Structure 1
Amino acid sequence: MTVSVLVPSSLTREAEDKREATRKLGYVARAATVFRVDRLVVFPDSGAEGRWGDGFVETVLRYAATPPYLRKEAWGKRDELEYVGVMPPLRTAPQTGSGSDESGSLRQGIVTEVGSEGRVRVNCGLQHPVSLPVPDGMELGEGERVTIRVSSRRPVRAKLVDQSPRGYDVIASDLSTELSRDDAGVRIATSRHGEQLSVSRLGDIVADTGARGMTVAFGSPERGLPEILGFDPSEVPSEGTERVAAAEATDGDELDEPDGSRFDLWLDAVPNQGSEVVRTEEAMFAVLACLSLTE
């Protein structure tokens, strides 16, 4: 089961400066971490980014997803990262295995040197880079990100594994591609113009997303999903729509259909909102908190 969250490249468009834009993205990263999002996708809202275009949103979110012990080596100094110190820490829960063969914790690392005899040196946040044998079938190059399982720190015992550590992946993609994925699950568009979430309705939605996974799309504060998709908010379905098979979608232009039929559900998770605008990061906490409930 996969949980994907889609946010537009314009989500920081209303930020007054780079510091505020960075802080906002920090809370987007926090929401993705708190609710165990697997994929955080930045989709293009071309021409609407304001001052924060040129991949700013994607870069900052990728930085936030990088473990603190690897950030300096992985990113160095970049203009987009000038104010990353204002972002709240993610404190991603460690991922541990079970059983004698899977004990220990998973950590991300960066290959700093490719040596002879099938070994590489990896910086994984321990006191010094560690030399590890490369498993059969795995090819690594300098600077590549890897996952290692650390079973002991003193002395260091670790091995390279073909597994992703806990946390979210940041991906740049478009809405058409994401909504057509085989593992998209329940495809939910968030909008104050959508179906108002109720206690009675929530149970059915959670049961469906729990069984199939979900893809949840958000707009930006000054430009909601209807505007991004190019249709009038009054045309947003107020109730769940019939699921349209991904195989029937042949062209990304179908996303512009007035009824928004590429989504299974248009959802308003903050009924009777007291603020004129619910910011993207606020909407993420509101929506994902509801959809993460269990029976």
Structure 2
Amino acid sequence: MGFMKKRSNDGNPSNKRRQRSKGNNHPNQHRFGRVMAQPPKLKLNAGQYPTVSIAVPGSVVSNAQTRELQTQLAGQIARAAVVFRVDEVIVFDDGLGSTLNTLSNYKRGPRRNEGEDRISEQRQDNKKPDHLQPSTDPHAFLARILQYCECPQYLRRKFFPMHPDLQFAGLLPPLDAPHHLRRGDVASFREGVVVDKDAGEDGSYVDCGVPNTLVQIDRVLSPGLRCTVQLDPKSYATSKKGSMKGVVVSPTTPRDQDGIYWGYTTRMASSIKAIFDECPYEGGYDMKVGTSERGDVSIDNPKFRLAKKESLKKSGVDEERFNHLIIVFGGVAGIEESVDADESMPLSGEDSKKMFDVWVNIAPYQGSRTIRTEEAVFITLSRLSPYISKNGMASEAEKASPMKQKAVVKKTDDVEFSDEAVSEESSDDEES
């Protein structure tokens, strides 16, 4: 019997892939990287980071028929805010919202008709204490979900007790923001909560999500407060002994010092006018953008720019530069109807554009009759993002030489990818 020649499989592409993947233990690892190790840092000079705020009417969730859809809609807005580095989200009352539907598509037991389902759920809700009643106010519901999404997983149990509004939090997409650290991550900054443990005058103890370790900060704070703590990365090596030291810093320090995006804050406004009256920044918003399909300027116009009204007739980058940008979105009926519904506003809906420096139509050639608010947020932020970045870099670019300008651009484009593993962040991952 003759000997059969052993067939070589070296030319088989699948075998080559298997050879290249040797030592790759994770089933989802890819040669070219599946997920960034960290989002890119935006390095600018101190004081040159323009803040970005968006205002969304709470009535948008009233159009969603069930709790699941309402939760998902809020999650889409949260995702857009983080992807485009929004610093503040305002949920305002446009006077057009209706009572929120608390029904769900998820039912236990045999299916009844819709009327019986509604009566059954209402009876169950009436038996619950007041603090466990589902929100019928769309503004409160949207604000709660936005705050929940922004909070790091290991702090959620501390700040968000059981509540019907969070029944479908498992449907929320993970934000994967830089301050949403995973177990075992080594970072210079962490969000934490002050715990009720007496440390005398040396400083309070903070739970920053470091496994089995509390961080002692440099000052005494009241238990239950959320704070941003700066840590020495070398101190993680000693965390096994249960000893770590940290310094309490401003929530803007990660951005100002290292260019790291550090999440958004959420606030509620009783009307569209209150958005501007209750601005937390000194001097208010110095760049106001209103979005409307009836905008008097199109973003597709080659001459479009973000410029203040008083500087339109002037020249010079410094006069056009802004520090605090706000973008206001309307609900189903638009900003004009919100202005008409606000009795404290001296303007009529037709004159809404007088409130803003830029009154822009963000999608002048839309193919649909309507653009939903959650869609408008993504579209607007993506289209305005180049103008916002240009504003933040304008002052530095002017003072820099041509060679230095190239270095600045190279710094922002230098992105590191990692093929360690896919994102493991999950809405259900709430380690304490």
**TM-score range, shorter-chain basis?**
0.7 to 0.9
Matched, 1:200 2:302: yes
Q: Is the 8 A contact 2:272 2:339 kept in 1?
A: no
**RMSD across aligned C-alpha pairs, in angstroms?**
2.6
Higher strand share: 1
Matched, 1:21 2:70: yes
Q: Secondary structure at the match of 2:346?
A: helix
Q: Is the 8 A contact 1:218 1:225 kept in 2?
A: yes
Cα distance, 1:204 vs structure 2: 4.9
**Alignment partner, residue 345 of structure 2:** 253
**Alignment partner, residue 273 of structure 2:** 176
Q: Which string of whole-angstrom CA distances, capped at 9 and with x for unpartnered residues, describes residues 53-101 of structure 1? A: 1611111111111011211222121111111111111111359xxxxxx
Within the candidate set 226, 230, 242, 2:340 is matched to: 230
- Please, what TM-score do these two structures have when normalized by structure 1? 0.80
Cα distance, 1:143 vs structure 2: 1.0
Matched, 1:264 2:357: yes
**Alignment partner, residue 216 of structure 1:** 327
Matched, 1:187 2:297: no
Q: Is the 8 A contact 1:189 1:216 kept in 2?
A: yes
User: Structure 2, unaligned stretches of length 5 or more?
Assistant: 1-49, 101-135, 181-185, 255-261, 309-316, 391-432
Matched, 1:144 2:225: yes
Cα distance, 1:209 vs structure 2: 7.5
How many residues of Structure 1 are paired with residues of Structure 2 in the alignment?
A: 265
Q: Secondary structure at the match of 1:40?
A: strand
**Alignment partner, residue 161 of structure 1:** 248
**Alignment partner, residue 106 of structure 1:** 189
Cα distance, 1:132 vs structure 2: 0.9
* Structure possessing the higher radius of gyration over alpha carbons: 2
Matched, 1:281 2:391: no
- 1:213 partner letter: H
Higher helix share: 2
Q: Is the 8 A contact 1:122 1:129 kept in 2?
A: no
Cα distance, 1:2 vs structure 2: 1.8
The 3 A distance-change label for structure 1 pair 216 and 209 is: farther
- 1:184 partner letter: Y
Counterpart CA distance in 2 for 1:31 and 1:106 is 23
Listed as ranges, the matches of 1:33-52 within 5 Å are 33-46=82-95, 48-51=97-100, 52=136
Higher relative contact order, chain-length normalized (CA < 8 Å, sep 6+): 2
Counterpart CA distance in 2 for 1:127 and 1:46 is 46
Q: Is the 8 A contact 2:273 2:344 kept in 1?
A: yes
Cα distance, 1:163 vs structure 2: 1.3
- 1:176 partner letter: K
Cα distance, 1:187 vs structure 2: 0.7
Counterpart CA distance in 1 for 2:304 and 2:188 is 35
